[in-house]
Amino acid sequence: KEVSEKTPFRFGSKSEKIPASLVGGNADSDLESSKLSRGIQKYDSSDYAGSEILLEEYIVDFPNDYIALYYSGVSDYFLGQFDDAISKLDKVVKVKKGSYFEIAQWYLALSEIGKKENKKAEKILNEIIKSNSSFKPQAEQRLKEISE
């Protein structure tokens, strides 16, 4: 499945539990009842506003939880809140590792495009292309579009 600015990327299935080790050990042991889990469920059902509310509350307590920052940032992107998306996704990208890095980098570029910050977006898209990311074809296409 190709990921674009119109198709949110989802990790795993809706029923998949996220190991506490992936969230830095900060999450409750029963993630199904946590704001993080409920926020991700809202995201999975394309309720980005509902997701954002729950994840924002969770991030107050766990500001370095990169899973929450990713889902909250992409929710912000889909709500057109590009400044908030950039702030959160930039934190995820700065870690430069993990399963969320490439997709966060992609949505960070799209958020910069949404803000009409094409120079910043070009830099990120070029980084995606140079790293041979799985988003290289999409990055090349978007780079052509914003360069025209």
pTM attached to this predicted model: 0.79
Residue 99 vs residue 53, higher pLDDT:
53
Secondary element (H or E) of residue 136 = helix 136-147
Whole-number Å distance between alpha carbons of 123 and 144:
13
pLDDT of residue 122: 97
pLDDT (tens digit, 9 = 90+) per residue, 102-148? 999 999 999 999 999 999 999 999 999 999 889 999 999 999 999 87
pLDDT grade, residue 9 (50/70/90)? low
